[in-house]
Each structure stands twice: as structure tokens, then as C-alpha cells.
Amino acid sequence: MSQPRVFIQTQDFDLQAEIAALRAQDARVGAVCSFIGTVRDRNTAPALGTAVPSLPPEGALSPRGGPSAKDVGSTITSMELEHYPGMTEKAIEAMIDEAHRRFDILGARVIHRVGLLRPLDQIMMVAVTSAHRGESFQACEFLMDYLKTQAPFWKKEDTPEGARWVDARVADDKAAQRWGLASDNSAAR
């Protein structure tokens, strides 16, 4: 019986436990590549502990693809992610199947959290196993580019000015296009 590959959940996850479970599925594993996404804290500078204008919100772009002036320095108090149960898992499963077709990988696991998240919380994990590192790195990056542009998630950021839905970034669309993934999510602006 095969192990689940996609987990959409509200609770946090333990990277070490997830990697161990993935590795235990196949003794041929010689390489594991993983990516952990976290909710960025754009509110404080790590060394100073004071509010600073830092990176713009992920989807905040000007018409030319740079940060929108109104969003530079915006503070994010929390983020909420939504998805369509069943549909989201099926879409990610299909992309893992595509990663298996494109790359010589042995296994993959995707965990994506939904619900209310705060700065510094883990938001998602992609882990890929293969016999050699190159295939794991490529497949992990492929899956990340898919998740950023194609996976059916909706992200809302809460700021002192109110809540706002986050649009896709031009850079994410470009990253997906190098894999032949049609993506024009940021074109709607």
C-alpha cells in the first residue's frame, strides 16, 4: 500500500519526522531535497527589533513588476490560507505524478498548511527523494514553482489597514514558464 503524498492541514509539521517517513519508503534513496516555506515577518528587523520598511507583500507589484509604493513597509499581522478540500489535494497529486514523469525520483511529499498563520510559522514543505541529488533538486524546484502558480490556494494578509487578498507575482509566473507550465496569474492586474 502506498503512503499518502499530499497533506493539507491546519497543524504544524516536524521536518525531521516527515523526511524520516519519506526515506523509510524506499531503501534506494541516496538524496533528499526539501524546501520549507515560512510566513515572513516583514514587521521587524532581526537585529534591531523595530519596525522597518522591508519587503513588500508577496503579491504587491507595480505595473512593471516591482514593489507597489503603497505596500512597501506594510506590516503583516497574520495570514489566512484557504483551499477547496479534495480539489487541492487532487491537483497537487497530479503534479507529483508529473514530477515522477519528468525526473528520476523515488518519492515526494507535500504538506501545505491552511487556516490562520502568523509571521515565522511554517507554511509548507516539499520533500523529494531520489538516488542522486540532481534529480531531487530539480523535482523539488519544479514542485515549488507549480505550488506558487497553479495550486488552488487563496491567501489573505491581515494588516493594520485591513485584510487584502494576495495576487500572484510576475516572478512566480516566469519561474513556472521555464518548466512549460502555462501561468498568467499575475496578468489579471
In a domain, 55, yes or no: no
Residue 79 sits in which domain range?
Answer: 6-44+62-188
In a domain, 50, yes or no: no
How far is 70 from 50, CA to CA, in rounded Å? 20
CB 56 within 8 A of CB 70: no
How far is 22 from 36, CA to CA, in rounded Å? 15
Residues 6+ away with beta carbon under 8 Å from 45:
52, 54
In a domain, 175, yes or no: yes
Q: Which three cell numbers stand for residue 115?
A: 487556516
| pLDDT value, residue 185 | 59
In a domain, 52, yes or no: no
Q: How many structural domains compose the chain?
A: 1
In a domain, 57, yes or no: no
Rg (CA), the chain: 17
| Prediction pTM value | 0.78
In a domain, 133, yes or no: yes
Q: Which three cell numbers stand for residue 107?
A: 518519492
Place of cell 516536524: 14
pLDDT digits (tens, 9 = 90+) for 126-185: 999 999 999 999 999 999 988 988 889 999 988 888 898 887 666 666 766 777 777 665
pLDDT digits (tens, 9 = 90+) for 43-68: 655 554 544 444 444 444 434 344 44
CATH number at residue 172: 3.90.1170.40
